[in-house]
């Protein structure tokens, strides 16, 4: 199920008039970004290819073409410049300037926190780009560190705002499905969760979240549950870390105001941020925040019903959580107090009330990895050490052995490359949040990895009841795009009211050390006779 636009086999291929693809360097909701070269000038470029699986969705194709129109309208120094739009085979390509410094997310992961003056200087650049966009009637709607690229000029960072693929031009008909929620939950304004028409204040709220994260090292509200994030954003009580200057905190709170009309406009924000940059010069950065504490593993948090694993395996009863979630604040009020009766909120809340996980495990018996049934909870806590008992040596599992296991109704267990009792680190997950326009369903793909002596990886998908999905998970070299482990494939996963989250994995791998890797999940979701396919990438990590 690997998307052709994301395949390393495209490396070296010429597309458009004179562009040669080098290697994939990024993944978005609508396409894969490649590093390329303009053969006519030998200049490096970035080429964004629309996922072929999305070309049958006219709204998404229109949105992709709209991205070029929007970016051509924006000629700001802090916005990525668009060069060309072309078609190749059965896909579309967008050619942009290559910004080689990576994203602001990459920079923040290295630095953890930034000095207040540096944070306000970078935020002022983004606010200046937004001010021009808002003047043209354009709302970005997905402002976050991942969509802000950086480069170094004269020893200082400069920002380049990108990914206007889901932006809305206010004076043309909407390209978004009515009542659809678009954005990334940690950066979404309270009104955005309810499908309210976006406004410039929507971007200002996201910029306030960004500014808080640059100074504090993490967004103001942490949760793996969208309903919980809805509640926290609606309450509007961000925690002020000790050391944040008073004037900066007032500006952050103004941007994060629950009422859009009470937030400052982008042009005024530019002036205030530049003034703060001068005032806060020399103020040191805050210490990095402690890692979020995850709850201990719950033995009930396991899966049930993948058809291909149901026979012959005794699964525990469905659990309450699909994935490890951040610990709920002690003073958190009940979620139901803040959920409104609109259809959008009801759908989102239902989808994110995650339950069981269907899991499977890779094992090696002297040859190539093979997928074997296995039951495991997705937990950040290390597994308890097993009691050592002498056992007779067993031969590699054969098909007949699997059949015998099914007849007896006993689970067949296969040893992993990772010895029992070997601790793994916490799960590192990248959670996306998308409205699938084909099936009109809110989906939450979640690729994860954990490292110990080996690398463990898996992925889950949260979707409405009544749908079916196929999931494929691979571990890839982040630099070359080459698959180094997998695929682990889980087919025919069904979603019900009691099990709206299904997972594929965990799988174990021992890739080459000293390189960067990422988990890639490809999934196909079907509901009411309509299906669509997409991919999601996990965080890049070095092992």
Q: Which residues are annotated as a binding site for ATP?
A: 48
Element (H, E) at 3: none
User: Do residues 339 and 308 make contact, with C-beta atoms less than 8 angstroms apart?
Assistant: no
The catalytically annotated residue of 38, 128, 142, 508 is 142
User: Do residues 251 and 276 make contact, with C-beta atoms less than 8 angstroms apart?
Assistant: yes
Determine the Cα–Cα distance for residues 533 and 463; give it in Å rounded to an integer: 13
Examine the residue annotation and report whether 203 is marked as an active-site residue of this protein: no
User: Do residues 356 and 504 make contact, with C-beta atoms less than 8 angstroms apart?
Assistant: no
Which tokens in the block code for residue 216? 């504090």
Alpha helix (H) ranges present in 151-293?
200-216, 226-235, 246-255, 266-279
Residue 464: partners with Cβ closer than 8 Å, 6 or more residues away: 347, 350, 351, 441, 442, 495, 500, 527
Residue 426: partners with Cβ closer than 8 Å, 6 or more residues away: 291, 294, 324, 380, 450
Which tokens in the block code for residue 359? 């899991």
User: What is the CB-side half-sphere exposure of residue 87 using CA atoms within 13 A?
Assistant: 5
H helix count then E strand count, the chain:
10, 22
Closest among 129, 149, 150, 151 to 140, alpha carbons compared = 129
Binding residues: 48
Q: Residue 120 in 3-state DSSP?
A: helix
User: Do residues 499 and 493 make contact, with C-beta atoms less than 8 angstroms apart?
Assistant: no
Which tokens in the block code for residue 392? 């007779």
Residues serving a catalytic function are 142
């Amino acid at each position: 199920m690997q998307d052709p636009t994301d395949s390393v086999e495209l490396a070296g291929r010429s597309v458009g008039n004179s562009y040669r693809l080098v290697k994939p360097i990024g993944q978005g909701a609508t396409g894969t970004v490649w590093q390329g070269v303009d053969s006519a000038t030998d200049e490096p470029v970035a080429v964004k290819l629309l996922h072929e699986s999305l070309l049958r969705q006219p709204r998404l194709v229109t949105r992709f073409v709209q991205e070029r129109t929007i970016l051509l309208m924006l000629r700001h120094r802090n916005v990525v410049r668009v060069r060309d739009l072309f078609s190749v085979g059965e896909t579309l390509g967008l050619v942009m300037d290559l910004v080689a410094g990576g994203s602001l997310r990459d920079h923040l992961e290295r630095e953890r926190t930034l000095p207040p003056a540096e944070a306000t200087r970078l935020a002022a650049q983004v606010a200046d780009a937004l001010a021009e966009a808002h003047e043209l009637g354009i709302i970005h709607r997905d402002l976050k560190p991942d969509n802000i690229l950086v480069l170094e000029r004269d020893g200082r960072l400069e920002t380049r705002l990108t990914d206007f693929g889901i932006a809305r031009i206010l004076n043309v008909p909407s390209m978004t499905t009515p009542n659809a929620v678009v954005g990334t939950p940690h950066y979404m304004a309270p009104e955005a969760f309810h499908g309210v028409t976006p406004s410039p204040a929507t971007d200002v709220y996201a910029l306030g979240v960004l500014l808080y994260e640059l100074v504090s090292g993490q967004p103001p509200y942490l949760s793996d549950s969208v309903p919980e994030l809805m509640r926290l954003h609606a309450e509007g009580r961000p925690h002020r870390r000790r050391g944040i200057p008073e004037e900066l905190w007032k500006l952050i709170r103004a941007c994060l105001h629950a009422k859009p009309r009470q937030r400052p406009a982008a042009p005024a924000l530019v002036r205030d941020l530049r003034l703060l940059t001068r005032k806060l010069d020399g103020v040191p950065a805050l210490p990095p925040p402690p890692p979020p504490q995850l709850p201990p593993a719950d033995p009930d948090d396991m899966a049930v019903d993948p058809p291909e694993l149901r026979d012959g395996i005794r699964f525990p009863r469905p659990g309450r959580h699909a994935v490890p979630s951040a610990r709920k604040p002690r003073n958190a009020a009940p979620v139901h107090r803040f959920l409104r009766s609109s259809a959008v909120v009801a759908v989102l809340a239902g989808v994110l009330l995650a339950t069981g996980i269907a899991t499977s495990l890779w094992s090696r018996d002297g040859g190539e990895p093979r997928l074997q049934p296995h039951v495991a909870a997705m937990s950040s806590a290390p597994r308890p050490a097993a009691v050592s008992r002498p056992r007779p040596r067993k031969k590699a599992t054969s098909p007949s052995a699997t059949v015998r296991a099914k007849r007896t109704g006993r689970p067949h267990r296969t040893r992993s490359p990772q010895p029992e009792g070997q601790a793994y680190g916490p799960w590192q997950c990248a959670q996306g949040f998308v409205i699938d326009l084909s099936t009109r369903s809110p989906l939450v793909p979640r690729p994860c990895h954990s490292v110990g002596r080996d690398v463990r990886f898996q992925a889950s998908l949260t979707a409405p009841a009544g749908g079916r999905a196929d999931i494929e998970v691979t571990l890839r070299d982040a630099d070359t795009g080459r698959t180094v482990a997998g695929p682990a494939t889980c087919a025919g996963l069904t979603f019900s009211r009691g099990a709206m989250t299904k997972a594929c994995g965990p799988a174990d791998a021992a890739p080459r050390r000293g390189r960067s890797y990422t988990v890639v999940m490809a999934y196909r979701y079907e509901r009411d006779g309509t299906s669509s396919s997409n991919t999601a990438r996990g965080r890049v990590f070095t092992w």
